A and B are shown apart, each in its own frame.
Chain A
Amino acid sequence: MATRNILIVENLHHQFGKFKVLSGISLEVPEGRLTALIGPNGAGKTTFYNVISGKYVPTGGKVIFDGIDITGMPAYKIAPLGLMRSFQITNIFLKLSVLENVLVPLALHYGKTFSCLTSLGKEKSLAEKAMVILDQVGLKDRAFRPAFELPYGDKRLVEIAIALARRPKLVLLDEPTAGMNPEETERMILLIRNLSRESGTTFFLTEHDMKVVFSVAQYIFVLHQGELLAEGKPSEIRENKAVKEAYLGGALDA
């Protein structure tokens, strides 16, 4: 059975003023395959995510998600279609409790945004769903703690939980292990692997930590100076000459 492509990017261009950040990127992400986007600093990874998730309107090209053309759509319209993202810098609701952090996207998902006279405390089904997600990422026992009290690694997990709350079809993870210690990184890798296998959500992540990429990704795209340099299975990428050069040799052997 041929798998469906959940994300199709066609000839994507983006530039800030005269500075070209993305020039002609085309790629496809099949449903269920844990895909990674790598590239040296400044290759345009974050811009790529920002364009796809609706932060910027691309200067050229097309983004098709789940059969729908989402090019230039604002982020708040893309998310309900089932495309969520996480951020490189922890970007959560700090003064809210961990549970509430997850309740925000859930309430949006179930159309409760403007219900202003019902009690949130009585929305038992929302709370149950939130607890399931917190259980998945391993934060269930910290559900009632305010998010700002959590250690860094746990805040990153809240970040993931928010992205997962709406049961999206595709999640873009922007450097999920950025700034983590080895232990936390290990935990995050395991989590992503499990989620990818079990949750029915497709994950597409960027990383600069090569160890993480090769241990977790099933398929890799390499971005270099705004262009797609290579793509393939981890073993193919590892042997790719152009990729090695782009990383100034060495880095990949580590």
Chain B
Amino acid sequence: MGRNTSVKSQFISGVSIFGILALCPIFFPIYWTMILTEILIMGLFAMSFNLLFGYSGLLSFGQAGFFGLGAYATTISILHGVKSIWLAMLIGMAASAIGATLIGFLCVRRDEIFFAMLTLGFGMMIYTVAHNWRELTGGSDGLSLFMVPPIHFFGLEVSLEPPRAMYYFSLIIVAAAVYILWRVIRSPFGLMLMASRENKDRLYFVGANVKNIRLFAFVIAGVMAGLSGALFSLFNHMAAPSFVHWSFSARPVLMTILGGSEIFFGPACGAAIFFVLEQLVTSITENWMIVLGAILIPVVIFTPKGILGTVVSWFTDNKA
């Protein structure tokens, strides 16, 4: 598969994607800059999901739980007087980390459908809390952030209220998170994940505590989901129970399948396809889901590698 060349080409493509993304707001109208912000945030969410799905072979149907923990904890801490965005986001990530550790500890013992159902169950428990603990979470209305506090760095005060500022803020955070994910996948631990996906019994017999390996991946994915949730709440100026619902957990799953789970940037590409299509389709008809479903069915049947995955393997096959 020529992994050694693909490391370099992935890094280069990553850097060039970042460069292109940094230039986008100059040419794009505000509206599309906002769509792009959403793509970045959800792309990170989908890529964190794929650390479990594509790399570890674990289909989680509860990632919205950690996304929501990040969103709510960030929003709540700002509403309760935390002035620093950085601190609020850290609190959001910490909440997801704690949640993912507790839930992951129980879930990683199971495989396949049972893992999917367990994560779905725990995700929905978090949803119930978000929906019913009205005093803290605002119940079914959620919480509104009327004002996102400005960020401070190196003595500079930058407001995140203008959409372009929010875009660049998200871009930098997402790029940093994606870089970390990339390092994780290239590391010895990343190899352990792929080995556990390929053959967890054998991994166990060569001396690995597979549960701990999975748990660590679960926590990393949970924290990254929490980070994207934190960004999403700042971007939308709110945290709502719908962020935590299982149908929200289905989003990264769909994006990953669309883009391809075997390619590092596949899920993010899927997120881009998802939102661009949504924009195009909803300008014509309200029934966007029927179109999405109608696209997903042939994608699952005919291109199990996803759209980006299929395109990439075209190119590599032609080269060979």
- Touching chains A and B, CB distance < 8 Å: yes
* Residues of chain A whose beta carbon lies under 8 Å from any beta carbon of chain B: 53-55, 74-80, 84-85, 87, 91-97, 100, 103-105, 107-109, 112-121, 123, 126, 144, 146, 162-163, 165-166
Q: B199 contacts A166, CB within 8 Å?
A: no
Interchain Cβ contacts within 8 Å, total number:
115
Q: A117 contacts B198, CB within 8 Å?
A: no
* Residue B189 interfacial (CB < 8 Å): yes
Q: B206 contacts A162, CB within 8 Å?
A: yes
In the complex, 7 of the A-B residue pairs with CB atoms within 8 angstroms, ordered by the A residue number, are A75-B207, A78-B207, A97-B3, A114-B189, A116-B189, A117-B187, A120-B190
CB distance from B319 to the nearest CB of A (A): 16
CA–CA, A222 to B76, complex, Å?
70
| B190, B198, B207: the one within 8 Å of A93 (CB) | B198
* Residue B268 interfacial (CB < 8 Å): no
On whether A84 and B187 interact (CB within 8 A), knowing A94-B198, A104-B195, the answer reads no
CA–CA, A94 to B1, complex, Å?
13
Contacts of B199 in A (CB 8 A): 91-94
* Residue B105 interfacial (CB < 8 Å): no
On whether A79 and B207 interact (CB within 8 A), knowing A119-B186, A146-B1, the answer reads yes
Q: A121 contacts B188, CB within 8 Å?
A: no
Q: B209 contacts A76, CB within 8 Å?
A: yes
Is the contact region of chain B dominated by helix, strand, or loop, or is it mixed?
helix
- Name the residue on B nearest A100 (C-beta): B191
Q: B186 contacts A120, CB within 8 Å?
A: yes
Q: B198 contacts A123, CB within 8 Å?
A: no
Contacts of A87 in B (CB 8 A): 202
- Name the residue on B nearest A122 (C-beta): B186
* Residue B7 interfacial (CB < 8 Å): yes
- 8 A-B pairs with the lowest CB-CB distances in the bound complex, closest first: A79-B207, A116-B189, A112-B188, A93-B198, A105-B206, A107-B188, A104-B195, A116-B187
On whether A104 and B203 interact (CB within 8 A), knowing A76-B209, A93-B198, A116-B183, the answer reads yes
Contacts of A80 in B (CB 8 A): 207
| A108, A116, A121: the one within 8 Å of B7 (CB) | A121
Q: B206 contacts A118, CB within 8 Å?
A: no
| B183, B186, B194, B208: the one within 8 Å of A113 (CB) | B208
CA–CA, A126 to B192, complex, Å?
14
Interface size class of chain B, counting residues whose CB lies under 8 Å from the partner chain = 20 to 34
Contacts of A79 in B (CB 8 A): 205-207
Q: B204 contacts A76, CB within 8 Å?
A: yes
Q: A93 contacts B202, CB within 8 Å?
A: yes
* Residue B4 interfacial (CB < 8 Å): yes
CA–CA, A119 to B184, complex, Å?
8
Q: Which of B160-218 contact A (CB under 8 A)?
A: 180, 183-184, 186-192, 194-195, 198-199, 201-210, 213, 216
Q: B207 contacts A116, CB within 8 Å?
A: no
CB distance from B264 to the nearest CB of A (A): 14
CB distance from B2 to the nearest CB of A (A): 8
CA–CA, A146 to B3, complex, Å?
10
Contacts of A94 in B (CB 8 A): 198-199
CB distance from A54 to the nearest CB of B (A): 8
Q: B4 contacts A121, CB within 8 Å?
A: yes
20 new A-B contacts at CB < 8 Å, known A104-B208, A108-B192, A108-B206: A53-B205, A54-B205, A55-B205, A75-B205, A76-B207, A79-B207, A84-B205, A87-B202, A95-B198, A100-B191, A104-B191, A112-B188, A113-B208, A116-B187, A118-B187, A119-B186, A120-B191, A123-B188, A163-B206, A166-B206
| A76, A97, A120: the one within 8 Å of B188 (CB) | A120
- Name the residue on A nearest B2 (C-beta): A144
| A55, A92, A166: the one within 8 Å of B207 (CB) | A166
CB distance from B48 to the nearest CB of A (A): 14
Q: Which of B229-284 contact A (CB under 8 A)?
A: none
